[in-house]
Structure 1
Amino acid sequence: MGLCPGRLRTRTEDPAVTELVLTLSCIDRKGIVGAVGSSIAAQDCNILESAQYFDRASGSFFMRVHFAAPDGMTPERFRAGFRPTLLAYDMEAEITDTSVRPRVLVMASMAGHCLNDLLYRWRTDRLPMNFVGVVSNHETWRARVENEGLPYHYMPVTPATKAAQEAALLKLVEDEKVELIVLARYMQVLSDDLSRRLEGRVINIHHSFLPSFKGAQPYHQAHARGVKLIGATAHYVTADLDEGPIIEQDVERIDHTMTPDDMAAAGRDIESRVLARAVRYHLERRILLNGDRTVVFR
């Protein structure tokens, strides 16, 4: 149907009402928005927020709908009623209950600014997640994390122990039913095998405005090139280092008087806010994958 991005917002007055989020993608055809809206209304649901996007290059259509549902409605029950529309348009769709918070594991190393920011936003209910714990290859932040009442998993790693450490990490992910892993300046590269097994479930913050200055010491690389803007990039982790689909980015202006350390200090603030936004978008089901890119309904 070739719609450009659009959005409609209302709100529910009853906090006890069940709220669901439907995300979908399919090949673009006429009538998708009408069919989705009709199916939602037919199940006595009321749309609170709706956004859609048509990608002309691929011919793909993407949509996110947040709606209030009658008492007793579950994602499974809604999906059963939505099935005729899903099949008619050959959609890939997910339906989630906003009251069920995803289980999130954070991984960090010695730099704690992103970890501390996530802890604060979680504690003040700015991130709708079930924080199941922190994994680190250092003991640096144990007291900070345990002060929040969260488990701290010390998992040191060397080239010789990397396979065993990742096996223990994967077991923890499975035991805790982790739905999202956040690499909050975790300064170890996940193996290709682990990256593939967890694809779509790991968000990394890279201290550079990708695709520039990949790999180690990006602020030193940026300083050597005399850049006037530095930035940070949050992306999904894939087996290709720093090549995963980009979720969010931001920049800050700098000048020639700044050393690499000055740039790194300024970058810490950018990294924290970019990572937090990316995590929130994921938790709120605002991100849909479009090949190697993302559609983000902010």
Structure 2
Amino acid sequence: MTDIRTETPLPLPLTTVEHVLTLDCREMPGIVHAVSGFLLEHGCDIVDSKQFGERSEAHFFMRVHFASDGDASTADMLRAAFGPVAARFGMSWRLERLGSKRRVLIMVSKFGHCLNDLLFRARTGELPVEIAAVVSNHTDHQGLVEWYGIPYFHVPVTGATKPAAEARLLELVDEFDVELVVLARYMQVLSDELTRKLDGRAINIHHSFLPSFKGAKPYHQAYARGVKTVGATAHYVNAELDEGPI
């Protein structure tokens, strides 16, 4: 008689994993207590926590960096468990494992300095993103992008072809499972329809300190006004030119 024994697989070893929780909601008592209590209940150790209330809008914002014993599935477990807490306060929230890489699509026109910086930082690991593709209305940077092994799509834009060009962009966003679109000196104004479809998923790099000097040639505007310090601003894209949340 053959003795057949079924061995129970050993559980995967737990290691220390770190996560970041970001949230915002209407300002009310008990939010910090509820969040910290949830983390304590689930054996999490807070590494860093920042919060502030925008009193004029009665809105609250919080970012918590925390650590716990776990594995690759811990984030999913914590998301499911945090749902009732978020619902109680009407939170908009996101919980991600620290270091997880978002899939990004970059849009660029002729100026390549922002694109080059993003490509370099992503390759060296300084920027925790995976650049899925680059879209441009010109071919100037195709060689550079393909040198990095990243797909490059030339999508020309004219007044007549703009609807088709934006439709193609949305196809690429879906095809490459893109989480975030970055406009890195992309010198085309997006249509209202496109900004609605990309709401919360598109960031523009504008070469001035917004809310000052919107639109084209902001450095020229700043110089004409006698401004001594210039820089750049990243903001979410909405239907109003250079008006999205910073």
- Which band: TM-score by shorter chain? 0.7 to 0.9
Change over 3 Å in CA distance of 1:218–1:91 after alignment to 2:
closer
Residues of 1 paired with 2:67 and 2:134: CA distance? 34
Residues of 2 paired with 1:161 and 1:87: CA distance? 43
Instruction: State the shift of 1:74 in Å.
Output: 2.9
Residues of 2 paired with 1:226 and 1:89: CA distance? 46
In structure 1, the residue matched to 2:3 is none
Aligned length: 232
In structure 2, the residue matched to 1:244 is 244
In structure 2, the residue matched to 1:46 is 45
Q: What per-residue deviation string (whole Å, max 9, x for no partner) do you get for residues 69-101 of structure 1?
A: 322443331133334433443333222223431
Tell me which structure has the larger Cα radius of gyration: 2
Change over 3 Å in CA distance of 1:216–1:66 after alignment to 2:
same
Residues of 2 paired with 1:85 and 1:185: CA distance? 40
Q: What per-residue deviation string (whole Å, max 9, x for no partner) do you get for residues 47-82 of structure 1?
A: 222111122212222211121232244333113333
Pairwise CA RMSD of aligned residues?
Answer: 1.9
Residues of 2 paired with 1:214 and 1:90: CA distance? 33
How does 1:142-157 map onto structure 2 within 5 Å? 142-157=142-157
Residues of 2 paired with 1:81 and 1:58: CA distance? 29
Counterpart of 1:22 in 2: which secondary structure? strand
How does 1:169-188 map onto structure 2 within 5 Å? 169-188=169-188
Bigger shift: residues 97-106 or 79-88: 79-88
In structure 1, the residue matched to 2:110 is 110
Bigger shift: residues 209-218 or 117-126: 209-218
Structure 2 residues without counterparts, runs of 5 or longer: 1-13
In structure 2, the residue matched to 1:219 is 219
Bigger shift: residues 219-228 or 204-213: 219-228
In structure 2, the residue matched to 1:161 is 161
Residues of 1 paired with 2:115 and 2:168: CA distance? 21
Instruction: State the shift of 1:23 in Å.
Output: 1.6
In structure 1, the residue matched to 2:202 is 202
Residues of 2 paired with 1:27 and 1:39: CA distance? 19
Residues of 1 paired with 2:76 and 2:169: CA distance? 31
Residues of 2 paired with 1:194 and 1:122: CA distance? 26
Instruction: State the shift of 1:149 in Å.
Output: 1.0
Structure 1 residues without counterparts, runs of 5 or longer: 1-14, 247-298
1:25 aligns with 2:24: yes
Instruction: State the shift of 1:16 in Å.
Output: 4.7
TM-score normalised to the size of structure 1? 0.72
Residues of 2 paired with 1:58 and 1:219: CA distance? 32
In structure 1, the residue matched to 2:58 is 59
Task: Give every structure 1 segment of 4 or more consecutive aligned residues whose post-TM-superposition deviation is greater than 6 Å.
Answer: none
The answer as to whether partners of 2:15 and 2:69 remain within 8 angstroms in 1 is: no
Instruction: State the shift of 1:186 in Å.
Output: 0.7
TM-score normalised to the size of structure 2? 0.86
Counterpart of 1:229 in 2: which secondary structure? coil
The answer as to whether partners of 1:104 and 1:179 remain within 8 angstroms in 2 is: yes
Residues of 2 paired with 1:212 and 1:27: CA distance? 28
Counterpart of 1:44 in 2: which secondary structure? coil
How does 1:218-297 map onto structure 2 within 5 Å? 218-246=218-246
In structure 2, the residue matched to 1:94 is 94
Instruction: State the shift of 1:122 in Å.
Output: 0.9
Percentage of pairs with the same residue = 55
Residues of 1 paired with 2:74 and 2:169: CA distance? 32
Change over 3 Å in CA distance of 1:178–1:83 after alignment to 2:
closer
